[in-house]
């Protein structure tokens, strides 16, 4: 049995969510959470200073 690639897993997650919500309302976080992946933490390079 062939292992699925990350691209295939994420695409399947997106398709599952698209069946329940409008596609323009689906976020990356929802796609990633839906398939069990975790996003790496932000590097803090957004230009905002929290100190």
- Rounded Cα distance between 37 and 24, Å, is 21
What does the block give as tokens for 41? 């933490």
Q: Is 35 in a helix, a strand, or coil?
A: helix
pTM: 0.67
DSSP states of 3-17 = PPPHHHHHHHHHHHH
- Rounded Cα distance between 10 and 29, Å, is 11
The arithmetic mean of pLDDT across residues 14-24, rounded, is: 96
pLDDT at residue 30, as a whole number:
94
- Find all residues with CB under 8 Å of 18, minimum gap 6, and list them: 26
Percent of the chain with pLDDT over 90: 57
pLDDT, tens digit (0-9, with 9 covering 90-100), for 21-40 = 999 999 999 999 999 877 66
């Amino acid at each position: 049995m062939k292992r699925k690639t990350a691209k295939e897993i994420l695409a399947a997650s997106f398709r599952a969510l698209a069946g329940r919500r409008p596609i323009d309302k689906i976020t990356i976080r929802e796609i990633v959470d839906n398939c069990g992946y975790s996003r790496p933490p932000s590097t803090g390079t957004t230009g905002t200073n929290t100190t």
